[in-house]
Chain A
Amino acid sequence: MKKKRKETTETETEDQMELLDDSQNEEEDEIKSVKQFKDSKRKAKGTVSDDGVLRPVKLSKKELYKAPTVEELNQLKEAENLFHCSILKMQMEELLKEVALSEQRKKLVDSFVHQITDFLQCVPESEVVELDDISWLSGVEVPFLLVPSTAKGKFHMEPPASINLVGSYPLGMCIKPKVSVDLAVTIPASILHPMDAINQRYSRKRALYLAGLARHLSFAKCVGSLHYSCLHGNRLRPVLLLKPPGNASSKVTLRIHAVPPPDFLKPSRFHPQKNNIRTEWFTGVASTQEDAESSEPPTPHYNSTVLGDHLPLSHLQFLSAVSAQCPAFGEGVALLKVWLRQRELDQGAGCFCGFLASMLMAYLLSTHKVGKTMNPYQLLRNALHFLASTDLTENGITLAKNPDSKAPSLPEFHAAYSVVFVDPSGHLNLLADMTVFTYKRIQHEASLSLTFWDDPTVDGFQALLMTPKSMLRTYDNVFKLVNLVKLQTSCKKLLLLNELMDHSGNYVLTALPFVLSLLQRGLGERIHLLVHSLPQDPEWSVGSAPPKHKDQPPLSIGLLLNLEHALSVLERGPPADNPKAAEFRQLWGSRSQLRRFQDGAITEAVLWSGNSISQRRFIVLKIITHLLELHADIPKSCITVGGGQLDDLIECDIQNHTTGEEESLEVVQSYDDLSRKLWQLKDLPLSITSVQGAHQALRYTQVFPPVPVRLDYSFFDKKKNHLGLVPKENKPCPCYIAPIKVIVHMEGSGKWPSEPMAIRHVKAAFHICLRELLCKQHNYRCHATPGYLDVWKDGLVFRIQVAYHREPQILRESLTPEGMLISRDNAEAQALELETLHKPFLTSTLHGLQQQYGCFGVVCRLAKRWLASQFLLEDIREEAADLLVASLFLHPAPFTPPSSPQVGFLRFLHLLSTFDWKNNPLIVNLNGKLTAVEQTDIKNDFVASRESLPTMFIVTPNDKKVSVWTKQVPSVQMLQRAVMLAAESLRVLETQLDSSEKQDMRVAFRPPLVAYDVLIHLDSKQVPLLAKAVDPPVNTFQRGTHGGQPFASGGALPVIDYDPVRLYLSELREAFGELALFFYDPYGGTVIAVLWKPNAFEPKPFKTSLMNARRVEVNGDVVTTVPNVEAILQDFRIIGEGLVKRLELRTEKWVV
């Protein structure tokens, strides 16, 4: 018998080893070069083990206490004063090393630039043609949307006046991964005409010139690929992208900008209030008015576009002058760029690009908001602080020291643009294209980052610079606007002709701010933040026509919800007689109605439908579709939303579309009632000291919370003596009634015996006593057993367990022969403590968390549904899963606590797939009880004793050393599998959510069954939770319940906690646990997957203790045993008689 398996994991580890070798070589090189750190480096290297696990540091006494040098002292001081710990400084230094360009790369870039420059110098001259005539460009398209198509003017090709490197590369601030080098090619003055600024003539000539260059370059050998793109989504500013041929193509991109001679046009012509595009030309309709010139609308965006082309060289000079003053300038900007990039803010139309980052830093330097001697870390921090605290939409800033008299003033800029940051010339607004919403997003991100930075318990480096914040994972709801051509009609509907002209016909950018401010008004206090994705720069080959505006990928709109208001069904407006009422009516249209409220007020109001919380989560979507349809003519079909499908997976009531919130609440209310009744019981021999819930439904995290049922008595057999109902053999398995566990602590007293066995008897006596009292005083049907008492109440079953607080202690105590009383931990005591101490505590704490974050429970349920469907719920216990989700809410860095099930679930998968369990404990600071010092201690203790601790180590304030919920499981292998599955599921889900079509979200919830050796298919008749399966079958069987209101008390005791599948599984595991692993989805799965253990089939020598389920093989004098596979498979059938439908053997993986 032979097994083939785990090949993939082996190759993976090999890869890791290779990586490790590389880095160690690097390290050795460093050791040679840096002499002063020689000793310490070697020390550090010595302690790094090969498997990438942290080991405690051991320094010799001599080294610790040697006399410090001045240099070292200063270094230590700096590290101590400036950072929470010096690690952040080191981390940033490492990061900067990672993103900086290597010398080799620089050489490559320089030689490529040199080649291209030389080649461009010899562009052949061409004849003068009309601007409309593009026949001379054989095979190359003009990178320009010719709308309107007519334009006056002449054009010819000529070699460039000059070619200069501009942008980040000459400043040395270019960073990986997208290395793009900007090359400004100056158009000779003879091609341009002073009146070209008007009616896009200049822009068209620029595009033509670029096309001419492209045609010339297409003959060059040194060019690998040639594409057009446009600068920050602005179609008037096309650029030419060049890549070197061969392997080097991914290493650098050369961007060629065509620019006019520096002082060609006067900047005063581009004052934001001047017009440079004539309505007559743009619309093609002759204007009737006499004084057409004076009534033309201003075209600020067009003006800034043309003006921006004049200034790259002077900006470069300005920045190089500034960066020369401050040594850390480049590195500070690099950090800021990384920060922006992780937040998807550095690309697309209206972005905060790297150039702006350096301009901002220059502003901070010139206004002395940062010092010249600051280090990169401080520069980043101050920049973020400035962004967080300054509102550029209200108070713009300017870099111009002494603007000339013709330069516009700040108020003039504010009137024309939404965000204002004026360049050194005083004429150009650098942030002309940015929307208010993008700036608010930057501000939000900056202030969020600062709070994480100030919190010593958060790994600031990870949160600030290392974690990518994609829209899907950051925002609670992400809507997609597909079919962007509809925005053209909304421009008409919103009367945006002038703005459309200003944006040269780009209706997406024109309509976007108006549509968004409409939504902002409508959503009001339901949301904290409204953001939109930045339209990405299109890229197309030089041989094809430029893409149309409508061909853009869909726009995403992200919302951060304010859960206090987001789910309310009522939108209350102003009183009817208030002048604002008209405004309200205008906004909501026919949905606004006059309503009279209980407090007597008569106001305008909008009422949305939604009975359950899961339905009310869609109110935001309803508002958006309603407003867009009403005001912007965007039909419902253009708005898609992902994630609602995930709700189906945890749907409890199909008719009412509830996802368990209401059911959980009902359970909690019934429990509260029971608890009150228990407290008030009379005639108890000892008084009750606490009643605590210990079931997940009581902390809102049960995947399918117990639902009150009313029984159909004819479905069951009745047990004699009226003890209760018993399932009938020929009927389907009755519905599963989960007992809801409640722990009741009894008062301590001298009367409690001091022996474990006697205590158990006394507890049983208490169960009987409680049974009688509850039966007599409240008429509940109860059933007492030695271990618990079941109470049948409101159609639910509560399982009361009496506890005595000293019992675990007594279980631990024993007497030594000398008569000394010693206390030794044992499994029995631990199990008891888990049940009576840890579980109730966790339940009450997480119940509190649910009150604080309304969406905690539903995220938990979704996460656990996923774990269950992937067969992981037995390895990552429910409590551990709850804590994982709790950590998303308590330690959201770099995000905000999730407010929708979908985003919470995505982050759960991300956490599970990326957390470094090997080197870090997961600290879940429930109620904020752990201080920073304690957390450091926990981390240090963890590193010191990593080997002896569980693979998954979760710390809570009440459990700092043990990690009770992950102590037994998962094993290393299972955790690895969980990590792998989570990563894959996350990838699948995100691509589905990102695509605009509707897709089947359940894919991530269907387990791959290929890996297993035997599949045991179950008879779905005997699977009680069949209806809750990921793909529920049509026929789910009648299971002995009526519809209708359950009885509050009385009636026969139902069949409690009877699940044949679970009984079967436990018997299988007890009998064959040494040979195989059994996997099952407890929520309606109809397959048990069996995996033989890797070494199960090895022949073992015959031993009396090792004969279970094995068969002997005699070979001469040697007797060996091997598993008796055929008999085992036979036993699978025998043990599960009536439940097992068929066995599916995958013998291709193992041979009998």
Chain B
Amino acid sequence: MAPSADQHARVIPGGFSVLSLRFSEDDAHAALHQLCVKEHRVRAESSTNRPLDRTLFVLNVPPYCTESVLTEVFSRFGSVQSVELKERPGASETSHSGVSRHFTDTLRQCFRVAYIVFKHASAVNAAKRHPENVPLVVSTAERPVRTGIHKWIQQYSDSLIKASSLQQDIDQFMNNYDRQKEEEAERQNQEAEQQQEDEEGWVKVTKSSRGVKVRPHSETANERMLKREKKKSERKELLNFYTWQHRNTQKEHIAELRKKFEEDKQRIAVLRAQRKFRPY
């Protein structure tokens, strides 16, 4: 490519530089996606996996660009340490530790944002200064990116997994889980023990024992209790015993009829408004 006069980066207000992205190098006239890049700069973040000076923040990454593809594409600016893809910008999540790939949810195939961590800070600036009219290329002859039928067949093939490897993952997870549970139980035991009276009838009161309740209470249990109380009070009540009660019931009845009458009238009014009474 011959260097031309307007070979300079396009920077838009807001500090983002615009890079262009092409899927494949063999068709030169294809439309380009625009990637907006900027160095990653967030005040409150203290995350270690996104060092402020070496991280490039990329917007509008097409769905066919996976982590490995981005690593390849951006390594022209300097060697890449890690790539993190997310659906929307935000703090990095702690990934499920100890859960095998069989149990993690598959990613949605949508446009995403990327946090690219380079090994050297200079690469960030190199990327930002990249001219817009020299597009980055996703799929090249050396490292083709598969989409469509190829990809789906590959996906299907990958989804066939051996039961034994799955079993292995499960066993590992369940062992961990059991160990955790055991530790938990032991801790609770100890706490309970501390509350027990010793031989002389003394109970040691500590700060931590306050949290442990005698009975675990839940919302549903509370509701049930309230309902029971209400029922009890209802049962005790006398109905239609005194004259005033009887009168009240009658009054309620008429009020009910009136209300229904009004409701029906309203319904009719709506239907009339829609001309629903023309039989044909």
Contacts and interface: CB of A to CB of B under 8 A. Distances in A.
B111 interface: yes
Interface in A456-481: 465-466, 468
Contacts of B33: 1109, 1124, 1127
Nearest to A95: B277
A43 B266 CA distance: 9
B108 A1070 contact: yes
B152 A1060 contact: yes
Nearest to B98: A757
Interface string A73-112: 1001001100001110011001101110000000000000
Contacts of B254: 68, 73, 76
Contacts of A765: 167, 170, 174
B266 A48 contact: yes
A48 B265 CA distance: 10
Nearest to A1058: B156
A1085 B183 CA distance: 58
Interface string B212-229: 010011111000000000
Interface stretch (B57-65, B185-193, B201-209): B57-65
Contacts of A1064: 148
A683 interface: no
Given A783-B160, A821-B217, A43 B12 contact: no
Contacts of A86: 260-261, 264
A45 B266 CA distance: 7
A219 interface: no
A59 B152 contact: no
Interface in A6-50: 19-20, 23-24, 27, 40-41, 43-45, 47-48
Given A785-B102, A1104-B59, A1119-B12, A758 B257 contact: no
A1129 B34 contact: no
Interface residues of B, number: 82
B91 interface: no
A1038 interface: no
Interface string B160-172: 1111001100100
A723 B162 contact: yes
Given A338-B279, A1060-B149, A1108 B12 contact: no
A54 B161 contact: no
Contact of A27 (B157, B161, B269): B269
B264 A90 contact: yes
Interface stretch (A698-706, A735-743, A1131-1139): A1131-1139
A44 B273 CA distance: 12
Interface in A140-185: 177
B182 to A, nearest CB: 13
B272 A1135 contact: no
A755 interface: yes
Interface string A1083-1118: 000000000000000000010110111111010011
A761 B174 CA distance: 8
B44 interface: no
A721 interface: yes
Contacts of B14: 1102, 1119
Interface string B129-167: 000000000000000000111101101110111110011
A1070 B258 contact: no
A382 B274 CA distance: 31
A760 B177 CA distance: 12
B156 A1124 contact: no
A822 interface: yes
B12 A1135 contact: no
Nearest to B174: A761
Contacts of A76: 254, 257-258, 261
A1123 to B, nearest CB: 11
A755 B177 contact: yes
Interface in B85-110: 88-89, 99, 102-103, 108-110
Nearest to B263: A57
A40 B263 CA distance: 11
A1055 B156 contact: yes
What are the 4 tightest A-B residue pairs by CB atom distance, in nearest-first order? A1137-B148, A1126-B31, A1138-B149, A821-B218
Given A466-B279, A765-B170, A1137-B150, 12 more contacts: A27-B272, A44-B269, A68-B254, A342-B280, A726-B156, A727-B156, A757-B99, A1064-B148, A1071-B109, A1104-B59, A1110-B60, A1135-B148
7 contacts: A47-B266, A48-B266, A65-B251, A91-B271, A768-B166, A822-B219, A1127-B31
Interface of A: 19-20, 23-24, 27, 40-41, 43-45, 47-48, 52-55, 57, 59, 63-65, 68, 73, 76, 79-80, 85-87, 90-91, 94-95, 97-99, 177, 338, 341-342, 465-466, 468, 719, 721, 723-724, 726-727, 729, 753, 755, 757-758, 760-762, 764-765, 768, 771-772, 783-786, 819-823, 919, 1022, 1053, 1055, 1058, 1060, 1063-1064, 1066-1067, 1070-1071, 1073, 1102, 1104-1105, 1107-1112, 1114, 1117-1119, 1124, 1126-1127, 1129-1131, 1134-1140
Interface of B: 12-14, 16, 18, 23, 30-34, 36, 59-60, 62-64, 88-89, 99, 102-103, 108-111, 113, 147-150, 152-153, 155-157, 159-163, 166-167, 170, 173-174, 177, 181, 211, 213, 216-220, 251, 254-255, 257-280
